[in-house]
Amino acid sequence: MAPGTSQSGVGRVIAGRYLLLNRLGTGGMGHVWLAHDQRLACEVALKEIVFRNPAEADRQRAARVARARAEARHAAGLRGHPHVVTVHDVLEHEGLPWIVMEYVAGALDLRDLVTRRGPTAPAECARIGLAVLDALTAGHERGVMHRDVKPANILLAPDRTGSPYARVLLTDYGISVQPDSAEPRWTMTSMLVGTAGYLAPERAQGGPPTAAADLFSLGCTLYYAVEGCGPFDRDTDLAALTAVVLEEPRPPLRAGALEPLLAAMLTKDPVHRVTAEETQAALSAILMPQSPQRTHVDPGSQPQWAQAETEASAMPVPVPVSGPGFGPPQSPLTPVPPMSPMSPTYGPPPGRRRRKRSNVLQSVIAALLGVGLALGGVWYAMGRQADEGGGRARPYGAAIGLAEPLKDGDCVIADWSERRFEGTPRLKLEDCLKGSPDGQVLAVVEAGSVEEARTNAPARCEERTEKTRKKLADVRGYAVLPTEAGFEAAGRRTVCLLLGANGGVYGPLGDHREAGLTFIDTANMQKQDCLDERSDRDARLASCDEPHDQRVLGFTRLGPDTSLEEAKRESVEACAADVPPIQYGYDPSRYESAAWAGESGWKTGTHFVVCTVKRQDGGTMEKDEP
């Protein structure tokens, strides 16, 4: 076994004491295991260091070991804090460190919770934010900056009464640092430390870690919790970092009372960013709106449980959600003025006598009204017919231009008048196999009304297409909403499209592909696809239950100055470094990296390549490998 690599794991005994039961997850530094402490007869969590390849183990062993010890030391300094995962010990086994931590039974991280259940309510988000802020503040008082606050590092678990998600715990101090201490820096100064899209702008530009930077990351995390997407989510890490530095966050649609606080937390300049004390006060005010010391916020945006009557009488007009991978909203959120109950009044107001009209005058008025209504009906019918191109309304309106509703599996060409995903595209059908489609319908969402479609369909489209979208390198979602006039013609359905983020997808996507499909380009290759390699330019989709030549592990991107020919020469080495098969359980003595580069990645400037794994001896891979 090569140094730093992981065996199958289950059943191993670490340091003569900890029996590995099963793997709980994988992070940037290694694996986290559920283990049984044979000495104390209890369950613990163990973090195992895993190197990408043996060469890295030789070069960076000392640095990674030191980082693990620093993580244990920083987290152990917060032992006993109710909102920090407790670290019990750090030990060495076969020359590598293992961190022994509290096992949090029934825990789910915030990222997975939002994925499964949707965005959280503002009040619940405030509760989570207060707990994490308390943990961060405790670390900041000791001079420890977390540097990687994000949804995946916040655990929600049942409390002693069994109430789900009641406990809130901050975990993974793996890249935390004490800036003012004499402790060695075990991260390269030229390497950004943290998660793209959650880094503070000053950190993304190479600035020092500070409490204000952790607060910005917490703001991004709370935005994700209440909105269902990050404020700077983009298709690539580079694009996300650019957005953090140069762009304003997407306007929130669900944040309610949190909205002004999120804006203050996501202020670019740390000097003008809200402080921890101010953040705590604002979160407390949202969580306990009846408190006499609460911060004054717009009552129209208070949590639903606190202002049910206000929200019922002043409901905002919904617009399409700008979730991760979805196009921007078509219009800003426009509140509707409160409506007061109205009932028809029969008879004159009190104290005023009704003026009598002659029967002749009433007949003339009635006739004129009848003619007017008739002419109006003819005008409306003719106008609608001209607008909709016939007697039947177009399902999605004249801008999109389709005369018939789209159905699941349809491929389309999307013609954007200006930049992609700005405005409304004109769509037309395209042959999925013979043409060069821009995208495909992967789901349809039914609604009882146009209002329901506008309110719920975009988020539901996001849920329905999320699994496929995460398997592709360069796609975005787009919800095609029916118009009010075309609602029935659209079958009362919203169409969920996946479109190439920067160009076409060049073929069918998701489950609409069949084994034997020849890939025209890499754009519709998905993670976990199994491939048959007919030549160095011909790959076909294979059934993973049958013998196959390669399996897709992920994607990486090459530099902007790299040509396509250079990419074909350099992509294997890049994949070996960025998407190493060993991280997916493949033995480096038997398997090796492979790669595919397509023209779409270079025509659109995205420069992504598909990283695969294959056998070193050239043999076929079987269903159960590795």
Q: Is residue 148 flagged as an active site residue?
A: yes
47 has binding-site annotation: yes
Name the strand (E) or helix (H) holding 97.
Answer: strand 96-102
Q: Taking phi first (over 0 means left), then psi (-120 to 50 degrees means alpha), and beta for anything else, what does residue 421 get?
A: left
| Whole-angstrom distance, CA of residue 526 vs CA of residue 606 | 16
State the burial class of residue 537 (Cβ atoms within 10 Å of its Cβ: 0-12, 13-18, 19+). Answer: exposed
| Whole-angstrom distance, CA of residue 264 vs CA of residue 295 | 14
The reply to whether omega before 184 is within 30° of 0 (cis) is no
| Whole-angstrom distance, CA of residue 402 vs CA of residue 422 | 19
Both tokens assigned to 289: 């709106």
Task: Find out whether 600 and 521 touch, Cβ atoms under 8 Å.
Answer: yes
Report which of 200, 194, 146, 199 is spatially closest to residue 173, judged by C-alpha positions: 146
User: How many C-beta atoms lie closer than 10 Å to residue 559's C-beta?
Assistant: 10
Check 89, 112, 134, 148 and give the catalytic one.
Answer: 148
Q: Is 416 helix (H, G, I), strand (E, B) or coil?
A: coil
Place of tokens 């309110």: 455
Report which of 30, 35, 41, 42 is spatially closest to residue 20, judged by C-alpha positions: 35
| Whole-angstrom distance, CA of residue 324 vs CA of residue 342 | 41
State the burial class of residue 439 (Cβ atoms within 10 Å of its Cβ: 0-12, 13-18, 19+). Answer: buried
Bind-site residues: 47
Q: Which residues are annotated as catalytic?
A: 148
Bind-site residues for ATP: 47
